[in-house]
Amino acid sequence: MGTAVRPASTAPASWDAFADVDAFVDEVLAELATVTADGP
């Protein structure tokens, strides 16, 4: 007798690459402003 393998009962969640792009851009701009303010 073999072991029965059941498929997963849940579907994978959808993934949206652009869901938090605004927050990411804001963080990058803030970091660039900090680096620029510190000078060379």
pLDDT at 37: 87
Residue 27's pLDDT is what?
93
User: What's the confidence (pLDDT) of residue 25?
Assistant: 92
CA distances from 10 to 13, 16, 24, 25, 26 (A): 9, 18, 30, 33, 34
- DSSP letter assigned to residue 17: T
Cα separation, 32 vs 27, in Å, equals 9
Q: What predicted TM-score, i.e. pTM, was given to this entire model? A: 0.49
Report the pLDDT averaged over residues 4-24. 74
Residue 13 has pLDDT above 80, yes or no: no
Whether the pLDDT of residue 33 is over 60: the answer is yes
